[in-house]
Amino acid sequence: MKKNPLVIANWKMKLMPSEAIQLARLYVRFQRGRKEHPFTFAMCPSSESIAVVYNVIRSSSLRLGAQNCFWENAGAYTGETSPATLRALGCTYCIVGHSERRQYLGETDDMIAKKISAILAIPGLIPVVCIGENASHRKNNTYRPFLKAQLAACFHCAKPRKGQAIVIAYEPVWAIGTGRPNTPKDCAEIYELIRSFAAQALPYARISVLYGGSVTAENIHSFISNGVSDGCLIGGASVIHKEFSALYRALSRL
């Protein structure tokens, strides 16, 4: 297992602010129950709950993240969220390029590239860049060139400073919310692809590679303990209290 794996919970648009507060309190309770934490845990509420969740977790070692941002920090951009504001609200991470945004909001690699640059320009804010093939790429065996092209397009203008952290989450679209995760063995090939891309294109950055897509308390061990990934991005399982409790216990046994 890699030292101190990173586990990021993506709460999506699933909770009312009062429910987000309750869930954050549960996370804090679990976290307080342990003296030492073998992992870093971050939660990403929807943007309207970020401030209230921060109030709950501010004195814990839990981290906060956002699910999206815009590529400018201020201006006439109705409805958008500024990366600088997210940092001011206590966020350490910002997810970009999630497949649900690509699918429902028409987010393109070019938009994602601009967002990554904007996040990298804010000290203390770390991009969590999602990439992933869909079922037909997998079926036609075209997923490798597809993922390489996606990485190249998303990072074409990224200029990280020396040692700056970047998280890349491999989330096969066909595995998200389906209960059918990719196998740790097949994922290893993709982590390798991501790392060799990063070694060439982002040689000075500190890269972490996560797996996401139907991670549960039952399978998280197989994704983290094989030592190849640096952690997991968890959606559905992270918002169900019982499932989260089981997840936390599984993580604590790592």
In sequence order, the 6+-apart residues with CB closer than 8 A to the CB of 36 are none
β-strands 126-131, 93-96 pairing: parallel
Q: Is 187 in the site for ligand PGA (CB under 6 A)?
A: no
- Catalytic residue of the set 80, 171, 221, 241: 171
Q: Which of 71, 214, 244, 251 binds ligand PGA (CB under 6 A)?
A: 214
Residues 74-113 that bind ligand PGA (CB under 6 A): none
Query: Which residue's CB is nearer to ligand PGA, number 24 or number 233?
Result: 233
| 241 classed as catalytic | no
Query: Which residue's CB is nearer to ligand PGA, number 177 or number 227?
Result: 177
**Residue 30 near residue 37, CB atoms below 8 Å:** no
CB of 200 to ligand PGA, least distance (A): 26
Q: What is the DSSP string of 25-69?
A: HHHHHHHHT-S--SSEEEEE--GGGHHHHHHHHTTSS-EEEES--
Q: Which of 145, 177, 203, 227 binds ligand PGA (CB under 6 A)?
A: 177
Closest to 175 measured CA to CA, from 127, 104, 223, 108: 223
Residue 247's CB: how many other CB atoms inside 10 A?
24
Binding mask 27-66 for ligand PGA (x = CB under 6 A): ----------------------------------------
Residues with catalytic roles? 98, 171
